Structures are given as C-alpha cells and as structure tokens.
Structure 1
Amino acid sequence: MQVPLEITFRNAERSDPVEAVVRERADKLKQYFPNIVSCRVTLEVPNRTPQYDVLNHRVSIEISVPGQELVVSSEPTEHEDFNDIYVTIRNAFEAAERQLKDYSGRLRESRKPIEDSPYATVNKIFKDEGYGFLLTPDEREIYFHENSVSHPGFSKLSEGDTVRFVESRGDEGPQASLVKPAAR
C-alpha cells in the first residue's frame, strides 16, 4: 500500500488482538490486487449508550485503488442480539477480497494484450520519485509511473531499456498504463 493502513475504533475500546487481525487481513488484500493505494478500516459499536452496551459490531472497509474507491460494510442483521467482532471482520474482508478480484478482472478484460503493444525506449527515469518517460519510435514522449511497470519491476529498469507499453490518456497527456520490459 502506498499509504499506511488506517484503523479507527468508534464507540469501541481499542484492542491489540483485534487490530492485529485487521492488519493481517489487510496485508492479504495485496494478493488480490497489488496496487492498492490506501485502506481504511473502521470498527464500531453502533447505538452504544452509557446505560446499555450493545454487543453488535460494524466493520467498514474503504479501499482506494487507481481510479476507484471500493467500500465494504459488514454489520449485524436486525435479528441479531450479538455478533462476534472477529466473525464480522472476516465477513467484511471476504467481501473486500471479492470486490478486489472483480475489479482486477475488469482491468484485465479492458487491457489489450501486451504482446500486440508497440515498443518504446526508456528515455528518462527518476527512481527516487517513482516515474519516468518512454520515447516512442515516432519521437513522442510518454509518461509512466512505477505502479504501471510489470515484472521484474520499476527498480530493474534503466535508461535505454526497450519496453512494450499500453498507452492511455492521462490528465496531462499520454501515459503508459502498462509497461513491460521487452524479452532480451
């Protein structure tokens, strides 16, 4: 994740064991979509009053991925008098995993195969800032971000390397939504 995980306890006591389970489950989300920008988890006890402790818990998860916000909430049904916080966390993260798998699948479907993509040369690379520019055979310069570079990754690229890329329209002009080092 580019932004550290945020965990908020609302109307509930902070708990180290609960927080550890949330961190473990949030770490697993990367296997469903590796380019998660941020993740915010809120654990709360709704309708809690000083005279009456409601033992139901609500877990909300907000996941930022490039171009979209995914939101999941798991809460008790109207017929439950009690729900286990760990079961609610599990249910919320399972729903988040399904959403990430679905999002990842939609991205794969919308991308054209990289094997049919044009070649370019890495013209400039700014490793500390996490971006660079490609130079196409027709002398156009295309921006790319480190998150758009496939295996073996951004850190292995150097100026002069030949790559295949998928071009898309960015806010400030053309950019590469996928960059793959060409086979050597």
Structure 2
Amino acid sequence: MNTDRVPLVELTFRNMDPSPAVEERVRTQIDKLGQFHDHIMACRVAIESSHRHHHKGNLYHVRIDLTIPDHELVVSREPSGHHAHEDVYVAIRDAFDAMRRQLQDAVRKQRGKVKHHETPPHGRIREIAPAADYGVIETPDGREIRFSGKSVVDYDFARLEVGDSVWFTEVESEDGPAASTVHVEGKHHIVG
C-alpha cells in the first residue's frame, strides 16, 4: 500500500462486543488489499452477529465498502446457513477474498486488460462432503481444486454428485488452489 496515503478505516460491530483480535484481523486483511491497489481511499467494514446473547450457532454477516478512485466496491457476505460462518474469522476471510477478486477485476478494467472469451477451467467433481461444506474438483490434467458450498453458483451444493461436470474460477488460497465460483454444467438455476 502507498505509505503516503493511509486509507480511512471504519470498523463497526453490531450485536456483538468489539474485539481487538477481530479488529487486528480486519486491518491485516485491508493491508493485504493494498497489494492489489495502491490508492485505497477508504474501507468501511461492518461485522454483525445474528444473535447477541448466544455463543454457539451465531452466524456472522460481513459487509465491506471499499473506495478507490472512480469506484465504490461492495461485498456483503450474508450468513448462508452453512456453519463455516459461525466463525467470525472465516466470515471475515471469505468477505475479504470476495473483495480482493472485485478489486483485481476493477484494476484490470482500469488498465484495459479485461480478458474476453477466455475459456474457464473445467473439471469433474471428484469428492463432495456437504456435511463438512467442501468438495474437490479434478481437472483433466489431474490437479485437485477445493471449493466450498458458498462457491457453487445457481445450484444446490447438497445436490452435487461425484462425476458432475463443472467449470470454475480458480484462486490461490492458504490451502492451495481453490475455486471461488463453481458452475455446474447442464444444471442451471436449481437452488434448494
């Protein structure tokens, strides 16, 4: 990030007590966004717990508003009912991953490097574990790409089957290659 311009950072906690550890995680994630754009002007983050008085079963909603020159980018990660977002740190990570993708797209567009008609990577579902909220795609060249239920677009994650043909958007995660979006071929708009 350009050290001459420190972005305005606002962090709001709703239905939960402020946490220095959570605030530190958010600031670390904002710093990571600075690797992709050196003119971040402001970043507003709201973290909301679904229940104020319960310690188990809370789902976290994270909203990020990021301001860069000529753009306002917004990510609003609603708790999807998947238990992964019972962990505030997972909810924060997922929201910032989505913001990073938006920011990278905005930078590409600003530079005029939008790729058109590029064939997305394809593969088949090799493993699916709805209870654990993950699956594995095997590509034709034998690579394994992990994904989670929230990555599946326009299809019910629980209805995926081993062998289903998919195309996906690949990103690098802490655990290696992952799919940020997964589209099931030939099965559209089936959300249970």
TM-score by length of 1: 0.53
Instruction: For 1:89 and 1:77, locate their aligned partners in 2 and report how far apart those are by CA, in whole Å.
Output: 14
TM-score by length of 2: 0.51
Per-residue CA distance 1:74-114 (angstroms, 9 max, x = gap): 2321354962100000000000000000000000007xxxx
- Residue identity matched to 1:5: V
Aligned residues: 109
CA shift in 2, pair 1:64/1:51, >3 Å: closer
| Structure 1 unaligned regions, length at least 5 | 111-184
Match of 1:64 in 2: 67
Match of 1:16 in 2: 20
- Residue identity matched to 1:57: Y
Instruction: For 1:49 and 1:7, locate their aligned partners in 2 and report how far apart those are by CA, in whole Å.
Output: 18
Instruction: For 2:45 and 2:68, locate their aligned partners in 1 and report how far apart those are by CA, in whole Å.
Output: 15
2:97 matched to 1:94? yes
Q: Following TM superposition, by how much is the alpha carbon of 1:68 offset from its aligned partner in structure 2, in angstroms?
A: 1.5
Q: Following TM superposition, by how much is the alpha carbon of 1:50 offset from its aligned partner in structure 2, in angstroms?
A: 5.5
User: Identical aligned pairs, as a percentage?
Assistant: 39
Q: Is the 2:64–2:95 contact (alpha carbons within 8 Å) kept by the matching residues of 1? A: yes
Q: Which runs of 4+ in 1 moved over 6 A?
A: none
Q: Is the 2:63–2:74 contact (alpha carbons within 8 Å) kept by the matching residues of 1? A: yes
Match of 1:33 in 2: 37
Larger Rg, first or second structure (1 or 2): 1
CA shift in 2, pair 1:51/1:83, >3 Å: closer
Instruction: For 1:91 and 1:71, locate their aligned partners in 2 and report how far apart those are by CA, in whole Å.
Output: 13
RMSD (CA atoms): 2.3
Instruction: For 1:92 and 1:29, locate their aligned partners in 2 and report how far apart those are by CA, in whole Å.
Output: 12
Q: Is the 2:61–2:78 contact (alpha carbons within 8 Å) kept by the matching residues of 1? A: yes
Q: Is the 1:60–1:72 contact (alpha carbons within 8 Å) kept by the matching residues of 2? A: yes
2:34 partner SS? helix
1:112-131 alignment runs, 5 A limit: none
Instruction: For 1:44 and 1:17, locate their aligned partners in 2 and report how far apart those are by CA, in whole Å.
Output: 15
Instruction: For 1:81 and 1:64, locate their aligned partners in 2 and report how far apart those are by CA, in whole Å.
Output: 28
Instruction: For 1:81 and 1:97, locate their aligned partners in 2 and report how far apart those are by CA, in whole Å.
Output: 20
